[in-house]
Chains A and B, each alone.
Chain A
Amino acid sequence: MKKAKFLANFENLDSIRKLVGEVAEQAGFSCNETYSIELATDEACSNIIEHAYAGQPQGVIDISCDADDGQITVVIHDHGKQFDMSKVPKPNLSKKLSEREVGGLGVFLMYKLMDEIHFSSSKKSGNTLTMTKRKSDPS
């Protein structure tokens, strides 16, 4: 398992992706799967930095990542603003260029790239996002 804390700064996204990418590679996920896991984690953390910790660059993002029995689990925790992921509208992909919304794309990609996503939020304990993905060809 790898764990680390990062300050809420976009400059840290590279290191965040590297953390989960290394766990995925060591666990034998394919290059494509590893990329998906890195991208989903990036999207989640970008939202935390931009929305949960908006204006709080000293906010802390806790990340832990573990892989076991063909499945990787990424747990991301923050103490930023309470956030309800279910309220993020899905982008309408059939809209034409001039009407296409840009909001919600990150959350949408997370759901597409990972197998399961669970989210909990409370004033006391903060926001916790858990994402899992199974290897497509478990050995």
Chain B
Amino acid sequence: METVVKEFKHCNVIEIKGRVDSSTAPQLSHTLEEICDDGRFKLVLDLTGLEYMSSAGFRALLATQRTCKRYNRGEVVLASVPVRIREALELAGFTELFKIYENALAAVGNF
């Protein structure tokens, strides 16, 4: 798994590529925590290059959403979600917890 972080004026875009499972989810959590520790709470997760995500990854997303939405300071939105991952997110009841955009450009516009 690889993450590429880009900082914009109003938000950060984090590209998540590869596979997120119990082995790699801690690395993703760490990256997202560091961004929040820097006081950045408006996050776009660009999932264009995401091949696979298990519940370990979903938990990392949930924890980050909780952090970002606290005190109404921001939120995590998802962009370009691959169909299979979206279906799994729906099964897990996660699509109600995140705004989902067609692509990162539209998601950045949200902020």
Contacts and interface: CB of A to CB of B under 8 A. Distances in A.
Contact of A43 (B23, B54, B69, B84): B54
Contacts, number: 63
B23 A10 contact: yes
Given A32-B84, A93-B93, A13 B55 contact: no
Nearest to A106: B55
A97 B21 contact: no
The prevalent SS among residues of B at the interface is helix
Contacts of B62: 97, 100, 102
A11 to B, nearest CB: 5
A40 to B, nearest CB: 10
Interface string A30-41: 011001001100
A136 to B, nearest CB: 14
Given A13-B21, A46-B56, A97-B97, A39 B65 contact: no
A47 B52 CA distance: 18
Interface string B28-67: 0000000000000000000000001011101100110110
A113 interface: yes
Nearest to B60: A102
B84 A35 contact: yes
Interface string B17-28: 001011100000
A89 to B, nearest CB: 14
Q: How large is the interface on B (under 10, 10 to 19, 20 to 34, 35 or more residues)?
A: 20 to 34
Interface residues of A, number: 28
A7 interface: no
B92 interface: yes
B97 A109 contact: no
A112 B84 contact: no
B92 A105 contact: yes
A14 to B, nearest CB: 7
Most A Cβ at <10 Å: residue of B56, B66, B69: B56
B19 A100 contact: no
A10 B22 contact: yes
Contacts of B83: 32
A14 B97 contact: no
Contacts of B93: 91, 93-94, 100
Interface of B: 19, 21-23, 52, 54-56, 58-59, 62-63, 65-66, 69, 83-84, 87-88, 91-93, 97
